[in-house]
Amino acid sequence: MEIIVAIGIIAFVIIIYVISYAVNEKTPAPEGCEELTASAACHTCSNSLCSVKKIEDEIKSNVK
């Protein structure tokens, strides 16, 4: 009986995780944060030859 309860709890946690992940994927980024979510990974990367960084830098220089 204890094993069935443990399996039920684990299954419940997995189901809650999958549902919350799916809902989070459908949620749009808040207004004003679109640029932050698009380039968040690029700021942690140390590859100076990355084409994404070059394009991003060109866009920033053209906007200013």
| Residue range 5-58, pLDDT digits in tens | 999 999 999 999 999 999 988 888 777 666 655 555 566 677 767 776 667 667
pLDDT, residue 19, reads 96
Cβ-based neighbour number of residue 33 at 10 Å:
11
Under a CB-based contact definition with an 8 Å cutoff, are residues 50 and 42 in contact?
yes
Q: CA 35: distance to chain centroid?
A: 13
**Residue from 57, 63, 21, 18 nearest 39 by CA:** 57
Which structural domain, as residue segments, surrounds residue 20? Answer: 2-63
Q: Which residue type does 8 have?
A: G
pLDDT, residue 43, reads 63
Q: Is the pTM of this model over 0.75?
A: no
Q: Report residue 59's pLDDT band, with 50, 70 and 90 as the boundaries.
A: confident
The number of domains in the chain is 1
pLDDT, residue 11, reads 98
